Amino acid sequence: MTREERLSFCKICKNQKLDFKQGIVCGLTDAPASFENSCNLFVENTELKNEILFKEFETINEEVGKEIRFANFILDFIFGYIFILICSIILGVTVALISPDSLTFFEQDRPILDLFLGLIFRTIYYIIFEATTGRSLAKFITKTKVVDKNGEKPNVYTIFLRTICRFIPFEPFSFFGNEDSGWHDTISETRVVKA
């Protein structure tokens, strides 16, 4: 066993003691741990163990700042439009194959229909990526992910709610507040953390 492997036990042992020259040593023997598989003197200190686990959890679930959130917004905006373009092409080809006469309906200028289809395709974009992987394409690039309030991958309903909240007017400006989260995070109780 290496010293680091032994220290993983010593750090949560009630018998540990800090020696300024040697580091963590056994308080009963005043020597660094030298056991191979297990220590006969080991007595788990649950408070220390929980404190260490909490610090690790906080480090793993460290929220990202406004700069990365802004990068995610710009990249997802671009990828979202590419996704909408691809979906529109697929929809157009499908309609052309099934009912070519229906294409005239889409040739007319219908801004409400365009807006509605854009919202549907953008919702599908976020649900496909964030509900399955916890990450949109932008979050893969920035090495971030979405988690719920417990630090777990959010369920589909939470991602759907988070996505719908993105369409609230002026929602992108909600990041200019004191916190590094927007309305779509606050309402859905999600956070963006380092992956």
Q: Which pairs from 29-38 meet CB under 8 Å and 24+ separation?
A: 32/3, 32/6, 33/3, 33/6, 33/7, 33/9, 34/6, 35/1, 35/6, 36/1, 37/1
Are 52 and 12 in contact by the 8 Å Cβ rule? The answer is yes
Q: How far apart are CA 66 and CA 69, in angstroms?
A: 5
- Judged against a pLDDT cut of 60, whether residue 71 lies above it is answered with yes
pLDDT digits (tens, 9 = 90+) for 146-166: 998 888 889 999 999 999 999
Domain ranges of the chain: 3-60, 66-194
Average pLDDT over residues 72-77: 94
Half-sphere exposure of 49 (CA within 13 A, CB side): 10
Q: What average pLDDT does this structure show over 92-115? A: 85
pLDDT tens-place string over residues 19-50? 878 888 888 888 888 888 888 888 888 888 77
What pLDDT does residue 61 have? 64
pTM summary value: 0.66
Residue 57 has what pLDDT?
Answer: 58
**AA letter at 64:** V
pLDDT in tens, 164-176: 999 999 888 887 7
What was the pLDDT predicted at 100?
Answer: 85
pLDDT of residue 58 exceeding 60: no
Positive or negative: CA dihedral 124, 130, 133, 135: positive
Do residues 152 and 192 touch, judged by C-beta distance below 8 A?
no
Model confidence at 56, in pLDDT bands (50, 70, 90)?
A: low
